[in-house]
Structures are given as structure tokens and as C-alpha cells.
Amino acid sequence: MGTTRTTEILVGAFMAAGFLALFFLSMRVSNLSAGDGADGYALTARFDNIGSLKVRAPVSMAGVRLGRVEDIRFDADTYQAVVTLRIDGAYDRLPTDTFANIYTAGLLGEQYVALDPGGSQDYLGDGDQIEHTQSALVLEQMIGQFLFDKAQEGSE
Amino acid sequence: MLTDALARLGRSGIGAIAGIGRAHLLLVAVLGGLPALVTRPRLLLAQIYNVGVLSVLIIAVSGLFVGMVLGLQGYYVLSQFGAEESLGVMVAASLARELGPVVTALLVAGRAGSALTAEIGLMKATEQLSALEMMAVDPIRRILTPRFLGGFLAMPLLAAMFSTLGVLGGWFVGVGLLGVDDGAFWSQMQAKLDFREDVLNGVIKSLVFGVVVTWIALFQGYDATPTSAGVSRATTRSVVHAALAVLGLDFILTALMFGE
């Protein structure tokens, strides 16, 4: 009887350790604890060019993460990209004239949406659209523009 | 001459297909015993002990050292690009997605799968299985089903322990010895790793590997030629087939899960 009891205790400890490890992986290693899913509110923004922005990319203001990119669609009428941003419910006081830019983290890093606050007294709510946007900088375009300007300087 | 060679080829082909058929019939019979197992939880407990508890030591030590090596090698490459802060992402992603489930499955196949095959093969060689049948006890339900379920349940828990200890090992080397920033190590890891994409897919992988490894081990034991040479061959085949199946399946699962 004693050996059965020992086996039971050891199996119990094994399963507890296994589930503890799973819990550690979920909470400490992955982003499950960082608030996931449909809480918060949605904003949309239209960009002429989103570069290589991906769904789940961070949305930040002043370098602090406020939410993430939830959805990216293409508007066939205006030929623009419609980006849906899911903002954490705690940050519900973004002015209506907030400015949305697409920046790159580091030189080769991934792209993210950076918000710049405006001065309006009214705040954005669920489903509102951010009017002021700036597209992603495409390196080839910048280099092309630079070469073009140089050529202009030379001809003057 | 030519017809002889053709006949040999045909015989081995038919043999292989018949073996696959027998393996599936065995799997159906083993799964058929699951409902009856509810009334005998003791049997399952003993098998979780055999496959799970007894494998903890090798899993824990391997996980720790694999994580530490990942930390060292990752630091060496990442520091050339000034991206040491991404060490946590690299260690955790490769462990949760690939190394945790795969290495655990390989270790369990070697540590527990071979033991299962030898045990059942020897039971068959010494006619204990026939004796059970004589007493109107179904050997598949009494012997094979608890072992199958035990392996299936123990595998994801062992893989989670492996990954967790690996991350801690990588953290010890990266943060403790090489001076990567502690906050960046964890925060980058949490920002980049997704629960569903990385952790849950790793668990699904190890569940699949759990089925495959225990299934192959049980089949090889049950199908062994009942002699000492036959049991020895079956044990070797069990480990080799399980390792090949795990590595092949891992490629397919990775392509399905992470391919875009």
C-alpha cells in the first residue's frame, strides 16, 4: 500500500510541475498576460502606403505601447490601406486630431504605428477614424528622391 | 533471376503495408480500451509514473543545458549585430516551437519508448499476454491502453518542463554570465512570443509526438517476434522508427503551423 501512495504522490508532483511549467510558458514567456483579444476600443486610419506593416504590430505613443494593429484592409475606391488599431481601454483620452505615423524600429526592425497627440479637447472613441496620417517611408523612394534632387542641383 | 528480385521487392512491400495495417488495427483496439480505463485509474497512474516521473531527471538536465548552449551561441551571433537584447526571443522561440517538443520526444522515445517495447515484447515472449487471455483478461485493454494514455499525457508536460528549464538556462547564461539586460531579455520575449502561435502550437506538437512515440513503442513490442533476438530487434526498431517519425512529422507540423 505504501508504494502505491508514493507513486500517487510522485505522479501528483510530476503533473503539478508540468502544469506549472506550462503556466510559466504562457504567462512569463509569451504575451498572454499582456492583455489579449477584444478588450479596448478600435480606431481606423487610412494610409497611402503602409510599407511592410503587419497585423499585431505595436501601436505606441511617446514610445509606450498603447495597443496593436488588429486588421489591415485595402479600400478599392480610394486605393488606400485601411488599418484598424485596437487601443487598450485604459488610454481613452486620445485627442481627435491625433497624428498617426508609420515608423521603423531601428534601422532594419519591424514597422509600427506611432501616435502623436494633437491639441483638441474632444477625444477619440470606438470606431472613430484618425484623419491625420503619414505613410511609411520607403527607402527606395527616399533614395530616388535624393538622386533626383542632386541631379536638379547639378543642372542649375 | 529477375522474377526472384521482383518477388523479393514485392514481398517486402506487402510486408511493410501489412505492418502498417496491423499497427492501425492495434491503435483502434487500444483506443477502444479507453472507456474501460475510467474505472481503473490506478493502471494509468502507474504508467504516468513510468513514462513521466522517471523521465523528469533526463528531461530537466537536457533542457537546462540545451538552453544554456542556446544562450551562449545566440549571444555570440547576436552581439555581432548589437542585438543581444533579442537573446530572450531567440532562446524562448526556438525552445517553445521546436526544440522543446522534438528533443523531449526523442528523449522519451529513448528513455521510455524502448522500455515499453522491451517490456511488452518480453511479456509476449514469455507468453504472459497469452496467459492473460486465458484468464479472459484482454491484454490490449489491461496492458497497452494505460501505457498509451500515460505516454500521451506525460509528453506535453515533459516538453513544457524542458522548455521552461531551457529558458531559465538561457537566462542564466545570457543575463547572469554574459551581461544581457534582465528587463530587455524578458520584455522582448513577451513582446515577440505569442501564446497561441508559439506556446499552444508547441503543446499540440508534443501531443502528436506523444501519440506517435507511444504508438510505435507499443506496436513494436506487441508485434515482436517472441524470441530474445526478436525483442532486441524490436527495441532497436522502436527507437529508430520513433525518432524518424518525430523528425518527419515535425517538418510537416511546422510547415502547417508556421508557414504562411
According to DSSP, residue B176 is labeled I
> How far away is chain B from the Cα of A39, in angstroms, using its nearest Cα?
17
Residue A101: partners with Cβ closer than 8 Å, 6 or more residues away: A113, A114, A115, A116, A133, A134
Q: Which candidate from A24, A34, A56 shows the least CB-CB separation from B190?
A: A34
Q: Give me the residues of chain A with pLDDT under 70, please.
A: 1-2, 31-38, 106-109, 156
List residues bridging with A112 in a β-sheet. Answer: A103
Residue B259 lies in a domain: no
Model ipTM value: 0.75
* CA dist., res. B183 & res. B191, Å (int): 12
Residues of B in contact with A21 (CB under 8 A): 157, 160-161, 163-165
> How far away is chain A from the Cα of B187, in angstroms, using its nearest Cα?
9
Percent of chain B with pLDDT over 70: 100
Structural domain span for residue B104:
58-252
> How far away is chain B from the Cα of A40, in angstroms, using its nearest Cα?
18
Helix (H) or strand (E) holding B245: helix B228-258
Q: Which candidate from A4, A19, A32 shows the least CB-CB separation from B195?
A: A32
Residue B117 lies in a domain: yes
Three cell numbers, residue A58: 505595436
Residue B48 lies in a domain: no
- Which pLDDT value is given to residue B241? 93
* CA dist., res. B206 & res. B110, Å (int): 15
CB–CB contacts below 8 A, A to B: 89
- Which pLDDT value is given to residue A12? 87
Instruction: Give me the torsion for CA of B139, B143, B146, B150, rounded to 10°.
Output: -150
The mean predicted confidence, pLDDT, of chain B is 90
Residue B154 lies in a domain: yes
> How far away is chain B from the Cα of A119, in angstroms, using its nearest Cα?
31
Q: Is B179 helix (H, G, I), strand (E, B) or coil?
A: coil
Residue B3 lies in a domain: no
Helix (H) or strand (E) holding A8: helix A2-24
Residue B247 lies in a domain: yes
Helix (H) or strand (E) holding A2: helix A2-24
> How far away is chain A from the Cα of B53, in angstroms, using its nearest Cα?
6
**A contact residues 31-50, partner B, Cβ 8 Å cutoff:** 31-34, 36
Residues B236-252, mean pLDDT to the nearest whole number:
94
The DSSP code sequence of B78-131 is HGGGT-GGGHHHHHHHHIIIIIHHHHHHHHHIIIIIHHHHHHHHHHHHTTHHHH
Residues of B in contact with A33 (CB under 8 A): 190
Residues B1-11, mean pLDDT to the nearest whole number:
88
Residue B40 lies in a domain: no
Q: Which candidate from B46, B158, B199 shows the least CB-CB separation from A30?
A: B199
Per residue in B190-243, pLDDT (tens digit) is: 878 888 888 889 999 999 999 999 999 999 999 888 898 999 999 999 999 999
**A contact residues 80-119, partner B, Cβ 8 Å cutoff:** none
Three cell numbers, residue B178: 554574459
**B contact residues 5-34, partner A, Cβ 8 Å cutoff:** none
Number of domains, chain B: 1
Return the closest-CA partner of residue B105 out of B256, B248, B257, B223.
B248
Residue B211 lies in a domain: yes
Using CA coordinates, name the residue in chain B closest to A13: B53
Which residue has better confidence, A109 or B186?
Answer: B186
Alpha-carbon separation of residue B164 from A11, B105, B151 (angstroms): 19, 16, 20
Alpha-carbon separation of residue B12 from B17, B18, B231 (angstroms): 9, 10, 20
Given CB atoms, is A6 within the 8 Å cutoff of chain B? Answer: no
